[in-house]
Structure 1
């Protein structure tokens, strides 16, 4: 009598959901520095994606006094970052850094979902 060996099926769990956006230490420090000069002090930073530019979409950053009903509220140290549900789809896995070079200084978005950018780098498509 032969016995068949049954191999259990291996099921891979789906990847854990990622944070829509992360900020580097340099970006957090710069946002806090700029926020400290605002009167009144904002509740947090809104990061989003808006239509426009040569390639279809642009990043936006602004200070907010409160989050919206459909916002995801992220915390980086004591900094709150608000991301609306639509922008979260386009920002999934995006890293925001603050860089200073001899030519320029500013926030740099590294977004893995971007398929192409325009020549000047200010807009993108997915």
Structure 2
């Protein structure tokens, strides 16, 4: 199961509320690409499909398609702020390797 930390959930809600119209859900997916084979993808959605797995994090709806769900099992999404910058961090216990820049992975 996918999880979002309270900090990540709060940040997504904050960003969503700045959109017009306010999106219905956050889509989290795994797509092919990057030097290690897969990359994470996050986007706002105005609608979801029946095939999507829908998670609810304190009122935040997160949609995951069937293909991505097998790669996101056990993943925790966090939001971090450091001196180098801020962003969402995917903690995936299933990852076997990542690329040097840390933006792609393989399982």
TM-score range, shorter chain: over 0.9
- Equivalent position of 1:86 in the other structure: 67
| Residue 29 (structure 1) aligned with residue 4 (structure 2) | no
Distance 1:105 1:24 in 2: 15
Unaligned 5+ residue runs, structure 1?
Answer: 1-18
Distance 2:78 2:12 in 1: 10
Q: How far does the alpha carbon of each residue in 1:68-94 deviate from its partner, in whole angstroms, 9 at most, with x for none?
A: 231000000010000001100001000
Number of equivalenced pairs: 107
Aligned pairs (5 A) from 1:1-126: 19=1, 21-126=2-107
DSSP 3-state at the match of 2:100: coil
Q: Where has structure 1 moved over 3 Å in runs of 4 or more?
A: none
Q: How far does the alpha carbon of each residue in 1:5-35 deviate from its partner, in whole angstroms, 9 at most, with x for none?
A: xxxxxxxxxxxxxx2x100000001000000
Distance 2:54 2:48 in 1: 7
TM-score if structure 1 supplies the norm length? 0.84
TM-score if structure 2 supplies the norm length? 0.98
CA RMSD of aligned residues (A): 0.5
Bigger-Rg structure (1/2):
1
Higher strand share: 2
